[in-house]
Amino acid sequence: MNAKVSLENMNVHFGSNHAVKEVSLDFCENTVTAIIGPSGCGKSTLLRSINRMHDLVPAAKVSGRILFDGADLYDRSIDPVAVRRKIGMVFQKPNPFPAMNIYDNVVAGYKLNNRMKSSEADEIVESCLQRVALWDEVKDRLKTSAVELSGGQQQRLCIARTIAVQPEVILMDEPCSALDPIATLKIEELIEELKERFTIIIVTHNMQQAARVSDSTAFMYMGEMVECGPTKKIFTTPEKKQTEDYITGRFG
């Protein structure tokens, strides 16, 4: 399968802290890749390198290569803003814009960039909310504040907002960790549908979740990539002892 995003000997340093060490990994097109590992193992750091969110942290330094459709994302000629339009992100805590209503939140990516044609807005809002299965729940109150929604609804709204700008890759940083089991289930079903159009990389603490939603799984420990491969294989016949210990709950 085609590698949409490839990491080649990637390192991330925060000052003297070597957070991600020599990681090489391919993320295939239209698949879900889960990154698992104990807290502080560098999985979120790795994820945030892919859409250049570390650019704003002066102490962070990314080295090695991250290829997106074969082009190096950290090349001097690449504009990080353009990268983030192609590689969207969903965060741990739902973060809709509190000053905007539901409607405006969905098209926030266009509105904030002044790229909105009002004739298209209605259509984008409806189709994106349909895709995240939120349309029926909010269609009668699109003009109410987004913060009045429940946590799960807010997170689906954030996903709608992310897919509205038509990225090619969606990064998810523990998207369900602030949600209850039912809301989590809805997001997981959604991820399954989204992979038909997008390449998804999800960081999760929850191993059952990784097993349920992902096609491939990568296990990280202390900044290093310990093992990666098809999810089924990682969870049934891991090659490394550390991986086995982690997925069977013996540490981490």
Partner 1 sequence: MQNLSLRHFKNYTATAAMVLATLIVLTPLCLIFVHILKMGFSSLSLDFFTQIPKPTGESGGGMANGLFGSAVLITFASCLGLPVGVLGAIYLTEFAGGKLATAIRFSADVLAGIPSIITGMVAYTLLVIPMKGFSALAGAVALSLIMIPIVLRTTEEQLKMVPGTLREASLALGVPLWRTSLKVVLISARKGVITGILLAIARVAGETAPLLFTALGNQFWSRKLTEPIAALPLQIFSFAIAPYEDWHKLAWAGALVLVVIMFTLNLGARFLGRQKRYS
| Contact positions vs partner 1 (CB under 8 A) | 51, 53, 56, 58, 81-82, 84-86, 88-89, 91, 93, 95-99, 108-109, 112-113, 147, 158, 161-162, 165
- Which secondary-structure segment (H or E) carries 155? helix 151-164
Instruction: Give which of 221, 246, 227, 231 is closest to 195, Cα–Cα.
Output: 231
Minimum gap (Å) between residue 242 Cβ and partner 1: 31
DSSP output for 67-135 = EETTEETTSTT--HHHHHHHEEEE-SS----TTSBHHHHHTHHHHTTT---HHHHHHHHHHHHHHTT-H
Is 80:204 a contact under the CB 8 Å cutoff?
A: no
Which lies closer to partner 1 via its Cβ, residue 20 or residue 163?
163
Measured between alpha carbons, how far is 30 from 168 in angstroms, rounded to an integer?
Answer: 9
How far is it, in rounded angstroms, from Cα 232 to Cα 212?
A: 10
Minimum distance from residue 90 beta carbon to partner 1 (Å): 8
Helices 118-131 and 151-164 meet at what angle, rounded to 10?
Answer: 130
CB of 64 to partner 1, least distance (A): 22
Q: Which of 102, 76, 80, 78 is nearest to 89 (CA)?
A: 80
If the CB atoms of residues 51 and 216 are measured against partner 1, the closer one turns out to be 51
Name the residue nearer to partner 1 (CB basis): 87 or 226: 87
Length of the chain counted residue by residue: 252
Smallest separation (angstroms) from partner 1 to the CB of 119: 21
Instruction: Report whether 200 contacts 4 (CB < 8 A).
Output: no
Specify which residues 201 forms β-bridges with.
33, 171
Q: Kindly tell me which of 89 and 200 has the beta carbon lying closer to partner 1.
A: 89
User: Considering beta carbons, is residue 161 or 212 the nearer one to partner 1?
Assistant: 161
When the beta carbons of 1 and 112 are compared against partner 1, the nearer one is 112
Please, which residue, 94 or 238, has the CB nearer to partner 1? Answer: 94
Give the C-alpha separation, 40 to 31, whole Å: 25
Least Å distance, CB 171 to partner 1, is: 8
Q: How near is the Cβ of 101 to partner 1 at its closest, in Å?
A: 13
Instruction: Report in angstroms how near the CB of residue 95 gets to partner 1 at its nearest.
Output: 4
